[in-house]
Amino acid sequence: MQTEEWGIKVTVVELRDIQLPESMQRAMARQAEAEREKRAKIIAAQGEALAAGELATASDVMMAHPLALQLRNLQTLVEVAVDKNSTVVFPAPLMSTIAELATFLERESKAAGQPAARPDQPTRSTNGKVVTSAGRQEARRVASAPESP
């Protein structure tokens, strides 16, 4: 201790009735609020990362077992049907539509000599422009249309 040089030994220091200025109290409150918000954002981000991982795992399972998606759809119907006042419009041939889409994409990619692209992902054409699935469909329609005289 620095007081021992003077021959005094301090063993306990007690502070009483400390009053902080209003501006310092506000600054401390802002800092504490910012820290709480930071922790909340970190927790939310960790939750999103975990959810994304679980969704990816579920997607892998459903790709390996196509009937799992159909069963999940039926489970969703059961959950929605609990409310007797609701009308549910549900696509019944969902699995056949997905299978047909996958077959179509494989057939088209083999014909074009390119790897299969998912319909929701843009691809690049030969001139380097980005083409969406709607653009590919329009290009096929134009190419297969008979020429006008």
Question: Per-residue pLDDT tens for 111-124?
Answer: 877 655 555 555 54
Q: Which residues of 27-41 are buried (b: 16+ CB within 10 A; e: fewer)?
A: eeeeeeeeeeeeeee
- What is the percentage of the chain residues whose pLDDT exceeds 90? 25
Above 80 in pLDDT, residue 93? no
> Does residue 13 sit in helix, strand or coil?
coil
Q: What is the DSSP string of 22-65?
A: HHHHHHHHHHHHHHHHHHHHHHHHHHHHHHHHHHHHHHHHHHH-
- Rounded CA separation 38/5 (Å): 46
Q: What is the pLDDT of residues 46-88, one digit of tens each?
A: 999 999 999 999 888 888 887 777 778 778 877 877 777 767 6
User: pTM value?
Assistant: 0.41
Residue 42 burial (CB count, 10 A): 10
CB-CB contact of 66 with 95 (8 Å): yes
Higher pLDDT, 21 or 130: 21
